[in-house]
């Protein structure tokens, strides 16, 4: 097989004395586009043709990088870090802030270097002289002026990233000259790098805290100990994202966290030094990234986040987030934000389905397995994709739909149901997890979870005119480490989705299960914490019609409605299409309104606002806690006491429910009695 252009460049560059290795191919998202595609990164850099042939034989589309240090020093001047620039070509390198500080003699030394144009700026290649190799550092000389030498690498021509942004060496063959012909690194440049490092070492540091990177911070940024509780909660969550990243996703998690926090840095509410120290510490715990990779990832993420400056929300969720982060009894020396309501402009509510599913907000539809929740979600997707009217005759705005439904097969289930309903498939996208690179540079698929809101934002942006996002079922995406019974934990997971809906203008519809036990208000029967129904603005319940003897009729009944009066309940049955297409049924709606709420349907004996008994609440609690599987008895009892239940109440309800105690090793586990398998095909 003949070498490709990049493959041949790799061989030619290695023959000239440079240690080459592959990086991610063109088309890789920017956060990972410069990631090494070999196991040990730049340490695998080689001049051996057989190794190079093996790499590009595996994937001819790999891009190209060279290891620095030893024989090569590189000065990297970027006009924009962390994102793709708005210009077709970068400004002239003589306009860079670092270059503007140089004397005429120093300027001539830079002009003598081999200069490579990059999507973000310029690379200046020098041979190593008597002063030795540079250390590899980001931003030590000034912001946007990096050095690459020992333990570093640099991307080279003919690499292209993100669909055509090129690296170009200004030589006739677009190749670096032989190492021996490179101009020697100027002594003054080595002295500047040494002086910058010495100044950093002399900077005072607090005990137990890594030294701050010498980068400018907004003048309004608070001191590290004065972070707003909401910002502190966000910082802690992003650090946890990095620490808990699965193998092969650590780099992507770091960049995503840096991008998420970069907006707070740009908004002046989070010091950059605090953000860098926190994420660096979280990354070093993993022991799979060196300092150069960490600094580069932070630079990329920071610049990307700076495109969207953020400040502390003025809504009530800021107060709740602060309470989660600091505790109810903590004290802050801050000043309350007060605004006269006369200064607050009234805002109208926009709907994707009037009085049922609002735009820019979260809604939830809940029901037992088999009640038709997924069919209802796909019926809504079909109507939006085609602009069909809603079952109550309300006009439906047409637009795109994004489905997050990893539990259903796209081909066997989702596509067939959309075909049967008559959806415009060209306007409906499905998110099938996320692509990341493993340690060998291979692109692998991982499951999406709610902590990855940046990935979901990207999927929304790739869905033209997106109006609706369906997450079905929400319980599968909260993350395995999340205790869905804890109100504050669930709220912390949902608030990023609230922000995402508001910022992108889409309606996000969460699909949830309900408990099998009846009693209490309808919204209280939704599986998990009450935060699921508390955070969303609209709750809809899908239930079997208790007055239908056939058992085929379903009711779509309103639960909590924050934005309007409860709309009438509607009914539907699942009917096969006229031509029996694939044998897949679709929803047949009855437009006649039904004047019963979800509370009245699910709790017909309780018309008033009465409170369920303590035993009833305990039953719901135990069924909720043990829904996902057995738990140690001590853990269940600890959670029960935290929820306000006595040991006597829990023991009595345990007997009533038939909960079993099973010994696993030395630990007694509680588990619900065997139940029939839930058929969730509907």
At residue 84, the pLDDT reads: 55
Same topology for domains 359-602 and 614-671, yes or no? no
DSSP state for residue 219 in the 8-state scheme: T
- The band of 584, judged by pLDDT with boundaries at 50, 70 and 90, is confident
- The band of 214, judged by pLDDT with boundaries at 50, 70 and 90, is very low
* 464 vs 295 pLDDT, higher one: 464
pLDDT tens per residue across span 186-211 = 989 988 888 877 765 544 433 333 33
C-alpha–C-alpha distance, residues 153 and 148, integer Å: 6
Over 60: is that where the pLDDT of 45 sits? Answer: yes
At residue 226, the pLDDT reads: 67
- The band of 678, judged by pLDDT with boundaries at 50, 70 and 90, is very low
Residue 538's closest CA among 363, 382, 284? 363
* CATH architecture of the domain covering 359-602: 3-Layer(aba) Sandwich (3.40)
- The band of 241, judged by pLDDT with boundaries at 50, 70 and 90, is confident
Q: At what angle do helices 272-284 and 250-266 cross, to 10 degrees?
A: 170
- The band of 476, judged by pLDDT with boundaries at 50, 70 and 90, is confident
Q: How far is CA 437 from each of CA 103, 212, 247, 248, rounded to the nearest angstrom?
A: 44, 30, 10, 6
Residue with tokens 């480490």: 481
pLDDT tens per residue across span 76-135 = 988 765 455 555 555 788 878 888 888 888 888 888 888 888 888 899 999 988 888 888
Of 141-155, 244-258, 304-318, 426-440, which one has max mean pLDDT? Answer: 141-155
- The band of 382, judged by pLDDT with boundaries at 50, 70 and 90, is very high
Q: Kindly state the percentage of the chain with pLDDT values over 70.
A: 78
**Range in 85-89, 393-397, 408-412 with the lowest mean pLDDT:** 85-89
DSSP state for residue 379 in the 8-state scheme: H
Q: Where are the alpha helices (DSSP H) in 205-310?
A: 229-243, 250-266, 272-284, 291-306
Over 70: is that where the pLDDT of 282 sits? Answer: yes
Residues 6+ apart with CB under 8 A from 576: 583, 584, 585, 586
Over 90: is that where the pLDDT of 354 sits? Answer: yes
At residue 327, the pLDDT reads: 41
At residue 648, the pLDDT reads: 84
Q: What Rg do the C-alpha atoms of the chain give, in angstroms?
A: 29
Of 313-327, 354-368, 397-411, which one has max mean pLDDT? Answer: 354-368
DSSP state for residue 224 in the 8-state scheme: G
The DSSP-derived string for 452-487 is: -HHHHHHHHHTSTTEEEEEES-GGGSS-TT--TT-H
For the domain spanning 614-671, the CATH number is: 1.10.10
Mean pLDDT of 578-607: 70
**Range in 26-30, 251-255, 314-318, 466-470 with the lowest mean pLDDT:** 314-318
At residue 23, the pLDDT reads: 92
Give the mean pLDDT of the chain.
Answer: 78
* 165 vs 75 pLDDT, higher one: 75
C-alpha–C-alpha distance, residues 157 and 64, integer Å: 7
**Range in 58-62, 446-450, 583-587 with the lowest mean pLDDT:** 583-587
C-alpha–C-alpha distance, residues 526 and 91, integer Å: 57
Over 70: is that where the pLDDT of 516 sits? Answer: no
* 617 vs 409 pLDDT, higher one: 409
Over 70: is that where the pLDDT of 465 sits? Answer: yes
Over 60: is that where the pLDDT of 224 sits? Answer: no
Residue with tokens 């208000």: 521
Domain coordinates of the chain in residue numbers? 5-197, 206-330, 359-602, 614-671
C-alpha–C-alpha distance, residues 35 and 65, integer Å: 10
């Amino acid at each position: 097989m003949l070498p490709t252009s990049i493959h041949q460049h790799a061989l030619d560059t290695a023959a000239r004395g440079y240690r080459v290795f592959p990086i991610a191919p063109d088309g890789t998202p920017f956060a990972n586009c410069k990631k090494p595609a070999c196991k040990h990164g730049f340490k695998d850099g080689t001049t051996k043709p057989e190794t190079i042939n093996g790499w590009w034989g595996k994937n001819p589309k790999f891009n190209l990088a060279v290891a620095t240090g030893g024989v090569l020093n590189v000065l990297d001047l970027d006009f924009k870090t962390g994102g793709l620039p708005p210009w077709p070509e970068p400004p002239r390198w003589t306009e860079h802030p670092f270059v503007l500080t140089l004397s005429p003699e120093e300027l001539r030394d830079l002009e003598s270097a081999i200069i490579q144009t990059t999507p973000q700026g310029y690379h200046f290649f020098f041979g190593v002289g008597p002063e030795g190799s540079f250390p590899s550092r980001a931003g030590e000389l000034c912001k946007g002026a990096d050095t690459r030498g020992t333990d570093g690498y640099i991307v080279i021509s003919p690499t292209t990233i993100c669909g055509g942004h090129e690296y170009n060496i200004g030589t006739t063959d677009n190749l670096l000259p032989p190492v021996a012909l490179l101009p020697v690194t100027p002594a003054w440049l080595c002295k500047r790098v040494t002086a910058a490092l010495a100044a950093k070492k002399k900077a005072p540091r607090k005990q137990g805290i890594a030294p701050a990177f010498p980068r400018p911070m907004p003048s309004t940024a608070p001191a590290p100990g004065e972070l707003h509780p909401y910002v502190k909660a966000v910082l802690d969550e992003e650090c946890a994202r990095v620490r808990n990243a699965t193998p092969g996703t650590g780099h992507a998690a770091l960049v995503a966290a840096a991008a998420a926090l970069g907006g707070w840095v740009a908004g002046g509410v989070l010091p950059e030094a605090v953000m860098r120290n926190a994420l660096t510490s979280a990354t070093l715990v993993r022991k799979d990234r060196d300092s150069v990779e960490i600094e580069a990832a932070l630079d990329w993420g920071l610049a990307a986040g700076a495109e969207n400056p953020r400040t502390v929300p003025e809504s009530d969720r800021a107060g709740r987030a602060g309470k989660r982060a600091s505790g109810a009894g903590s004290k802050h020396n801050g000043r309350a934000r007060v605004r006269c309501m006369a200064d607050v402009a009234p805002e109208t509510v926009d709907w994707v389905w009037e009085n049922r599913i609002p735009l820019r907000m979260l809604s939830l539809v809940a029901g037992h397995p088999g009640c038709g929740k997924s069919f209802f979600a796909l019926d809504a997707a079909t109507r939006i994709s085609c602009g069909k009217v809603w079952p109550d005759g309300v006009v439906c705005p047409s637009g795109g739909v994004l489905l997050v439904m990893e539990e259903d097969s796209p081909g066997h289930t989702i596509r067939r149901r959309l075909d049967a309903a008559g959806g415009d498939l060209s306007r409906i996208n499905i998110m099938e997890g996320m692509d990341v690179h493993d340690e060998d540079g291979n692109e692998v698929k991982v499951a999406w979870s709610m902590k990855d809101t940046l990935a979901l934002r990207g999927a929304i942006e790739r869905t033209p005119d997106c109006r609706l996002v369906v997450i079905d079922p929400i319980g599968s995406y909260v993350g395995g480490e999340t205790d869905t019974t804890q109100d504050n934990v669930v709220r912390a997971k949902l608030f990023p989705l609230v922000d995402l809906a508001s910022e992108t203008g889409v309606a996000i519809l969460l699909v949830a299960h309900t408990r099998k036990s009846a009693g209490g208000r309808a919204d209280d029967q939704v599986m998990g914490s009450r935060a699921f129904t508390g955070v969303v603005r609209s709750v809809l319940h899908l239930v079997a019609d208790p007055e239908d003897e056939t058992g085929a009729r379903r009711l779509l009944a309103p639960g909590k409605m924050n934005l309007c009066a409860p709309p009438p309940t509607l009914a539907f049955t699942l009917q096969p299409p006229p031509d029996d297409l694939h044998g897949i049924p679709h929803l047949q709606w009855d437009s006649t309104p039904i004047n019963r709420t979800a509370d009245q349907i699910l709790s017909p004996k309780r018309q008033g606002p009465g409170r369920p008994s303590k035993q009833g609440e305990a039953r719901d609690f135990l069924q909720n806690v043990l829904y996902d599987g057995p738990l140690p008895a001590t853990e269940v009892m600890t959670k029960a006491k935290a929820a306000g239940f006595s040991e006597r109440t829990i023991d009595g309800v345990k007997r009533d429910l038939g909960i079993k105690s099973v010994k696993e090793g030395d630990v007694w586990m509680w588990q619900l009695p065997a139940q029939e398998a839930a058929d969730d095909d509907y």
